[in-house]
Amino acid sequence: MAHTLDLSVKSAAPALVNLTGLTRDGLMQALVESGVVEPRKAKMRATQIWRWMHHYGFTDFDLMTDIGKEQRALFKEKFTLARPEIIERQVSNDGTRKYLIRMAPGIEVESVYIPSVGRAGALCVSSQVGCTLNCTFCHTGTQKLVRNLTAAEIIAQVQIARDDLGEWPSPSEDRQLSNIVFMGMGEPLYNLDNVSDAIDIISDNEGIAISRRRITVSTSGVAPELQALGNRTQAMLAISLHATNDDLRDEIVPLNKKYNIEQLMDAIRNYPGISNARRVTFEYVMLKGVNDTPAEARALIRLLKGIPAKINLIPFNPWPGTDYQCSSWSAIETFAAILNKAGYASPIRTPRGRDILAACGQLKSESEKKRASVVRREQREEAASIQDNLPAGESLPFAHLAGGMID
């Protein structure tokens, strides 16, 4: 897509291919093309390596005991299984864990693990560094640096959370990490090839084995890509709606000027696999005086008529420099009560990770210039002062990920 700019650093030495981002077919092909594995043995070797990487979480070829020593040495010359560097790990009082990961020089992303969301706990992953879409209430949209993450970089976020939670080999029950949500930095549908490969890898039964039903992709509404998303990933769909008429949505989600609400709703109705058992989640950020009246709650119900839907009301997370405020608690409750009456259960999200500014994608663009640690200290101070000035119960970093929005 022409929307993204690849700023990856090119180095003189050829980079080793990271096998963790390859689908099964891609892995077989890479093994054969490397000349190390004969075509007739490719499937067997790929299956062995797959299990070591994705079931056991190994990063070292030497631990792969069913592969001969000489072949392991050749693999090391051509391939890598290495994780990227974790620059910072923060744990909130409520158990939320935030990781700041350096994928490459200048390419830093956040991912966040939230306990007690979904079946056991959800990991919010990023799909891009920054975002080209500039929704007016979103901090990620203000970040300048944009490139798509590779499938390996998306998988690395899952592996790092699993490393930290001690969940290798991949447990078949009692998992802490049960759900994946693409709700971190970036627009996943502008990186569909890599998101789709990553979902194939995450959902594979002989590896990380998180079912497609527990993987949710959130989009701001790239209507023409919804069909492909459903066909290629069978993931659960979340739509960042935030407004019920085109005038307002044009303003706060500028992509609406390209694909308006009617086009978006049509595409959603045709989303593959949609049913009462597989409902679409509609995200709706509560912005004081912007989109939070009872009339808008009623308009939302009219708009969703006939679509198997759940609604996720998100208290706005303030960030330094924003003019928006979170709706008052009573406005949110009134809005929610109208939805409840129409049959949409408990849609308000509870706050998570507030003490560590765990809202996805809140790295400031200045982090390109300043030392990241200084930026983060400033962010924490500013976040604390924003939180201190809010009425009780309002404005909650990471609200968009918490509490029951995913089954």
Query: What minimum distance in Å lies between the beta carbon of 104 and ligand SF4?
Result: 20
Q: Which of 44, 190, 39, 55 is nearest to 129 (CA)?
A: 190
Report what 134 binds from ligand SF4, ligand SAH, none; CB cut-off 5-8 Å by kind.
ligand SF4
Other Cβ atoms less than 10 A from the Cβ of 62: the count is: 12
- Identified catalytic residue from 124, 138, 326, 360: 360
Residue whose C-alpha is closest to residue 128's, from 159, 149, 154:
149
Distances (CA, A) of 246 to 140, 189, 249, 307: 23, 21, 5, 19
Q: Catalytic site residue 368? A: no
Q: In whole angstroms, what is the distance from residue 385 CA to residue 123 CA?
A: 27
Q: Residue 183 binds which one of ligand SAH, ligand SF4, none, with CB within 5 to 8 A depending on kind?
A: ligand SAH
Q: b/e for 248-280, b at 16 or more Cβ within 10 A? A: bbbebbebbeebbbeebbebbeebeebeeebbb
User: Would residue 360 show up in a list of annotated catalytic residues for this protein?
Assistant: yes
From the CB of 36, what's the least distance to ligand SAH, in Å? 39
Contact letters for ligand SF4, residues 196-235 (x by CB under 6 A): ------------------------x---------------
Tokens representing residue 169 in the block: 């080999």
The residue count for binding ligand SF4 (CB under 6 A) is 11
Applying CB under 6 A, the span of 133-141, 148-156, 263-271, 272-280 interacting with ligand SF4 comes to 133-141
Q: At its nearest, how many Å lie between ligand SF4 and the CB of residue 19?
A: 29
Q: How far apart are CA 91 and CA 271, in angstroms?
A: 37
CB of 139 to ligand SF4, least distance (A): 8
Q: Which residues are at the interface with ligand SF4 (CB under 6 A)? A: 131, 133-135, 138, 140-141, 186-187, 220, 240
Q: Which residues of the chain form contacts with ligand SAH (CB under 6 A)?
A: 131, 135, 137-139, 183, 187, 218-220, 240, 283, 285, 314, 316-317, 319, 400
